[in-house]
Amino acid sequence: MSDTRASRFSALAMTACMCVAARAHAQTEPLQTEVRKRAATVEEKVIRWRRDIHEHPELADQETRTSRLVAEHLRGLGLEVRTGVARTGVLGVLRGARPGRTVALRADMDALPVKEPEGLPFASKARQAYLGKEVDVMHACGHDAHTAMLMGVAEVLAGMRDRLPGTVLFIFQPAEEGPSLFTPASGKKWGAKLMLEEGAFQDPRPEAVFGLHVMPGPLGQLSFRTGATAASSDDLEITVTGHQGHGGMPWNTIDPITTSALVISGLQTVVSRRANLTLSPAVVTIGTINGGTRANIVPDRVMMTGTIRTYDEKVRAQVDGDVARTAEHIAESSGAKAEVRITPMYATTVNDPALAAAMAPALRNAADGKVAESPLAGASEDFSFFAEAVPGLYVFLGVTPKDQDPEKAAPNHNPEFFVDEHALVVGVRTMGTLAVNFLGSPPATKEPAKAPRAFVHEDR
């Protein structure tokens, strides 16, 4: 379903779902209360795990220590555990004593090639291989918090097993940030996509999947949106080949440098003139350009890399096609040749409108009413693959300390990115509450809609 259709459906479905959501919410209230109580009792442990994981960050596909910690914890709770999924991923299955639906909860475990500044007593000093080079490693995207929170949720829900209706699948995913041991262009797979290929959703098969990401924002505030939430992303590589010669006699050369300048300018028209921006925003960025060795030599080639982002699969396909055609034909007009390689990375992350509407009361309960609509995220997420397989909901949790302005807080991936640990208990409550609320809800029925509204938070 395209995002436009999705958001139209979203407006209808949300209205239809409100009374169902309220009913389900009321039915599962005792379970939600129990989640809140138990979340408070695991808070200290979650903070300890988070600090431990933060001090020992691991890059994509190298999360061996982290996944061992997770697997041991899940086994200790009596869950069925599968390790080595997508190399270092862990799956845990918790079967409630009462019959019911199946829900998946996902956390990502990998860190980034970022050097952590000194300061925190548990600051990282870790170094690991990144594409053949030794680099400093830091949890600069908060996946340490995600892993610790989901370990806490597992403990909370395992403690309620006797009262739990249905099954919870815990997904501890590697390599969300992209591979660290090979390049995406190598054709190898990683992360969520590989976990699905290795049967993550086969037995048990979840009916919904929830994910949560920490980010700068008011402390403990949840935010989400329906429909498209995070961008699709494609890696772009362009090689412009000309003919080398003397810089004083350019007429004897084919200049890939001037050609590349034309290509870059031309690519700006792909979004501004060709993409239907009423369907989806789009971005084409050239991030690197390399060519030439000396002032008076016209080189024989220039290499460029970049990224393409959209929020709609149709727009994505069109932009990808236009980028390739524009680069190739501009190069041809200069007598040069452009080879364009576009490597699909992540799909658009789409929040299922009906699921989002049904879960809105649970989110408000978990965050004590602090729920906001999130803007479109320019980043991309491979949670998108889980949410393509079954209805998904991806929410953000604000982790900026109370005395700081979230607008000025360092963003994810910045070495100064900071997680205020007071938010962690809200994250545990959120994922736990979503799980019990979903498990206790009847499967969705397609009720006819009344007044469509674009985005609704009840009581907001």
**Residues in touch with Zn ion (CB under 5 A):** 141
User: Closest CB to Zn ion among 110 and 300?
Assistant: 110
User: Quick one: 458 exposed, middle or buried, by C-beta within 10 A (0-12, 13-18, 19+)?
Assistant: middle
User: Closest CB to Zn ion among 141 and 347?
Assistant: 141
User: Quick one: 171 exposed, middle or buried, by C-beta within 10 A (0-12, 13-18, 19+)?
Assistant: buried
Measure the CA–CA gap between 76 and 61, rounded to whole angstroms.
24
Helix (H) or strand (E) holding 399: strand 392-400
> Cβ 95 to Zn ion, closest distance in Å?
30
Query: Who's near 376: CB < 8 A, 6+ residues apart?
Result: 225, 228, 229, 230, 231, 281, 311
Query: Who's near 278: CB < 8 A, 6+ residues apart?
Result: none
Residue 253's nearest CA partner among 198, 299, 221 is 299
CB 180 within 8 A of CB 128: yes
> Cβ 109 to Zn ion, closest distance in Å?
10
Measure the CA–CA gap between 277 and 282, rounded to whole angstroms.
7
Residues β-bridged to residue 210 = 105, 393
User: Closest CB to Zn ion among 77 and 419?
Assistant: 419
Residue 171's nearest CA partner among 56, 86, 98 is 86
> Cβ 381 to Zn ion, closest distance in Å?
7
User: Closest CB to Zn ion among 141 and 456?
Assistant: 141
User: Closest CB to Zn ion among 141 and 181?
Assistant: 141
Choosing from 130, 311, 346, 394, the catalytic residue is 346
Residue whose entry in the numeric block shows the structure tokens 């030439």: 292
Choosing from 237, 339, 421, 458, the catalytic residue is 421
Measure the CA–CA gap between 380 and 84, rounded to whole angstroms.
25
CB 305 within 8 A of CB 240: no
Residues β-bridged to residue 231 = none
Give the residue nearest to Zn ion (CB). Answer: 141
> Cβ 338 to Zn ion, closest distance in Å?
31
User: Closest CB to Zn ion among 141 and 150?
Assistant: 141
346 is known as an active-site residue: yes
> Cβ 349 to Zn ion, closest distance in Å?
12
Q: Is 144 helix (H, G, I), strand (E, B) or coil?
A: helix
What separation in angstroms does the CA of 373 have from each of 138, 227, 379?
29, 12, 17
> Cβ 429 to Zn ion, closest distance in Å?
20
- What would the two tokens of residue 455 be? 């985005």
> Cβ 294 to Zn ion, closest distance in Å?
39
User: Closest CB to Zn ion among 80 and 421?
Assistant: 421
Residues designated catalytic: 346, 421
